[in-house]
A and B are shown apart, each in its own frame.
Chain A
Amino acid sequence: MSDTPVINAPVRWPSLGRYRGVVSGIIGILGLLFIWWLGGRWVANSPGMFAFSMFAPEPALSRLWDMLLSGEVWEMSIPSLYRVGLGLVFAIGIGVPVGIAIGRMVVLREVTNIPFQFLRMISPLSWMPIAVMAFATWDAAIIFLIAVAAVWPIMFATAAGLRRLDPAWLKVARNLGASPLHQLTTVILPAIATDILTGIRLALGVAWIVLVPAEYLGVTSGLGYAINDARDTLDYSRLAATVVVIGIIGFLLDYICLKAVQRLNWVRES
């Protein structure tokens, strides 16, 4: 008889039907909370770290509940959402038309490739001093930094969508008498809507990351300011609660984008 060990069948999840996604999500969240709790225990039991024990889940979530009831969560979130929203509007307003132009015109794509790649690789936060000098208000400077961070994913995703566009669709439209505006609204934009939204989704992630350090600039509102303020006042449970708020809002914004991408996606799964 062979000594070859019996290879066990791979571990399979029980069939959960349509609840599988929900159950998997809950397991993931519980896992994260467990790791956070372990970290909190370790910090509380470390002689040099116990001052940070308020980062643990119990005080942080308790503080979050108080902040929700007092309306503080909304007070700190709305200015941040306004800045990110406006920054994204500017990024979309610049990124989509420029992306369409570089996707359609080979010469423009070749000419702009190096400058755009060069600019893209500069950390948006490097523009901070220039933004502070160039704009009259702190808000405008933050919105500029968010727009600078968000424009590249939108532009490149739009251009990539254009390059994949079936040229026959445009030929058919021209053949049926479509004006350039008709071609844009009935063919180009619907065809690349998924690409644009995917770019916006990526841009939103980048913008949300840039937001917190950008809000360290001068302003006295927003999630970034709240983080900075909590650190300065050594209010660590509030700091941890604000981090949770940032994560939850970021997750919800990404989820909305994902649903929009799924809704506009016309490609059938084979």
Chain B
Amino acid sequence: MMVQLKSKPENLRAVAPSADTGTSPVAPRDEADRRYVEVSGVGHSYSRNGPTVLRSIDLKISAGEIVALIGRSGSGKSTLLHIISGLMKPSDGAVRIDGQRVEKPSPRWVMMFQAPSLYPWMTVAQNAGLGLKYAKKTEGVDARVKEVLSLVDLAEFADRNVQDLSGGQQQRAAFARSIAPEPELLLLDEPFSALDIFTRRALQNDVREIAKRLGLTVVLVTHDVNEAVQMADRAVLLSSGPGRIAGDTEINVSEADRVSQSKKFQMETTRLRTLYTEIAGLG
């Protein structure tokens, strides 16, 4: 079924699943460039006779790109992220990262969750170095841990127990833990939604800045349009019941304009919100 939009915003590439197959073909502008992450025909149900959560998801993401997956609750965006990370196996289809089929989690693609889920019996440094320990790295571990803790402004808290940190600091520590194993792809599952607005804004800016500096590819799940505009280069919109890709649009905001006071930021937020409202059927 076609999703009828009242107005088709600029940069919107594909919002219509094909009527015959039910697939959601994203019309790529630059096919060769968009091959780092390839989600092909992914569908998912949690049980054999249960409702379909995701249907025929096709998505390509290029290296270094920050993509926001936006959708209402139940649109399957978190499920899709779990499937990309290898924490869940899809009922149909496959995910490839840099040509390699994703069968299980890997330190090359790391997911960060809504709750920091730090280990409360460890220090900040021990938490940050866990991925390196699992990868059996023995050399340069301390230096790498120091480096990532400095990146997230937690160097001075390295030897503190994580229970001594504030909510925002805990999420920074979780971010440090995620990037310590030097992943190529970072999957963020609404990681800032439990934080206050000021901490959230600061972390959104910091995470984007660090990801760009390190050349990380990022897939961000959010239902916050502001967060998508603040952090992402591109927004993919999911409709629900079952989850399908219903829109895919570039976010054209310069780095200088990625502040909520900027007129360009507000215009882009309004454009994306309108599109989201149409797709979610809220209009």
Instruction: Let me know if A176 and B107 touch, CB within 8 A.
Output: yes
Provide 23 A-B residue pairs closer than 8 Å at the C-beta atoms, listed in order of the A residue. A168-B113, A168-B115, A169-B117, A169-B119, A173-B134, A174-B87, A175-B87, A175-B111, A176-B131, A176-B134, A176-B177, A177-B131, A177-B135, A182-B133, A182-B134, A186-B119, A186-B130, A186-B133, A190-B121, A190-B122, A193-B121, A266-B121, A268-B163
With both beta carbons as reference points, the residue of chain A lying nearest to B120 in the complex is identified as A266
Asked whether B181 is an interface residue with its Cβ less than 8 Å from the other chain, the reply is yes
Within 221-264 of A, Cβ neighbours of B (below 8 Å) are at: none
Query: How many residues does chain B have at the interface if contact means C-beta atoms less than 8 Å apart?
Result: 23
Task: Report A-chain residues with C-beta under 8 Å of the C-beta of B167.
Answer: none
- Cβ of A72 within 8 Å of any chain B Cβ, yes or no, is no
B121 touches A175 (CB 8 A): no
A266 to B163, CA, bound (A): 9
A residues near B120, Cβ cutoff 8 Å: 266-268
CA distance A35 to B130 in the complex (A): 57
Residues of A within 8 A of B131 (CB): 176-177
Interface size class of A (residues with CB under 8 A): 20 to 34
Give 1 or 0 for each of A10-33: 1 = CB within 8 Å of chain B CB.
Answer: 000000000000000000000000
- What is the minimal beta-carbon distance from A191 to any residue of chain B, in angstroms? 7
A177 close to B119 (CB less than 8 A): no
CA of A179 to CA of B134, assembled, Å: 7
Kindly provide the distance from the CB of B180 to the nearest chain A CB, expressed in whole angstroms.
9
In the assembled complex, the CB of A194 is this many whole angstroms from the nearest CB of chain B, namely 9
Residue pair B181, A191 in contact (C-beta under 8 Å): no
The interface of chain A, by Cβ under 8 A from chain B, is: 166, 168-169, 171-179, 182, 186-187, 190-191, 193, 266-268
Q: Are B113 and A191 in contact (CB under 8 A)?
A: no
B52 within 8 A of A: no
CB-based nearest B residue for A167: B117
Encoded as 1 (CB less than 8 Å from any A CB) or 0, chain B from 22 to 60 comes to: 000000000000000000000000000000000000000
B130: A residues at CB distance < 8 A: 173, 176, 178, 186
CA distance A174 to B82 in the complex (A): 12
In the complex, which residues of chain B have a beta carbon less than 8 angstroms from the beta carbon of A187? 119
**Residues on the B chain within 8 Å of A179, using CB:** 134
Contact B117 A168 (CB under 8 A): yes
Chain B residues 168 to 194 lying within 8 A of chain A, measured CB to CB, are 177, 181
Q: How far is the CB of A164 from chain B (nearest CB, A)?
A: 13
Are B163 and A177 in contact (CB-based, < 8 A)? no
Closest B residue to A176 by beta carbon equals: B131
Chain B contacts for A267, CB-based, 8 A: 120
Known: A175-B87, A176-B131, A190-B121; 5 extra A-B contacts, CB below 8 A, are: A166-B117, A169-B117, A172-B113, A175-B105, A266-B120
Closest residue on chain A to residue B177 by CB atoms? A176
Distance in Å: Cβ of B186 to nearest Cβ of chain A: 11
Shortest Cβ distance from residue B189 to the other chain A in the assembled complex, whole angstroms: 10
- CB closest residue in chain A, given B115: A168
Q: Which of A166, A171, A172, A268 has the most CB of B within 10 A?
A: A172
Interchain CB contact under 8 A, A177 and B105: yes
Report the minimal beta-carbon distance from A174 to chain B, rounded to whole angstroms: 5
The 4 lowest CB-CB distance pairs between A and B, nearest first, are A266-B121, A176-B131, A168-B117, A177-B107
What's the nearest-Cβ distance from chain A to residue B100, in Å?
14
Query: Contacts of B251 on A, CB cut-off 8 Å?
Result: none
* CB-CB under 8 A for A172 and B117, given A182-B134, A268-B163: yes
| Residues of A contacting B62 in the complex (Cβ-Cβ under 8 angstroms) | none
- Does B110 have its Cβ within 8 Å of any Cβ on chain A? yes
CA distance A176 to B175 in the complex (A): 12
Do the beta carbons of A176 and B110 come within 8 Å of each other? yes
Q: Contacts A182-B134, A186-B130, A268-B163 known; A175 to B119 CB distance under 8 Å?
A: no
- In the assembled complex, the CB of B182 is this many whole angstroms from the nearest CB of chain A, namely 12
Q: With the chains together, A186 CA to B133 CA distance in Å?
A: 10
